Amino acid sequence: MVDAQGNDTDSKTPTNPKWEKQKAALKKVQISFELAQNVDQQIRIEAAQSGESPSNIIRRVLGLTVSPPVRPRLGVSLSQQEIENLAAHYNTDPKDRKTWMRNAAQTIHEYYKNERHLK
């Protein structure tokens, strides 16, 4: 049975509020825009200069709500082979994700700390 708020009243397991938020997030649809190269570049530059994501810039332009990031982070997609290569580079097991990711993050920090990227 479902109550007026849409909650399952027959369930013997209490509903975790975090799960409800995740369930709502799953209902979102991601869309991609094909914009002129100069517009795409302007969005990325504005995002970098303001410390926001390009998605937030687009949401702001479209008049949608913008929430501050909970955990600002940068990501990269890695193939299994790339994971194995990184793990080997840091002399760790590919399954020990925490260790090779920590070492990779340290490499990135050192790269920008030493300003080698400017050369």
**pLDDT digits over 69-114, tens only?**
777 778 899 999 999 999 999 999 999 999 999 999 999 999 988 7
Tell me how many domains the chain contains. Answer: 2
Same domain, 62 and 87: no
Q: Is 54 exposed, middle or buried (0-12, 13-18, 19+ CB in 10 A)?
A: middle
Domain residue limits at 95 = 80-118
Q: Which of 12-16, 57-61, 94-98, 101-105 has the lowest mean pLDDT?
A: 12-16
Same domain, 59 and 90: no
26, pLDDT greater than 80: no
Q: What is the mean pLDDT of residues 6-12?
A: 57
State the virtual CA torsion across 49, 66, 112, 96 in degrees, nearest 10: -170
Complete DSSP assignment for 70-84: SS--------HHHHH
- Specify whether the CB–CB gap between 62 and 53 falls below 8 A: no
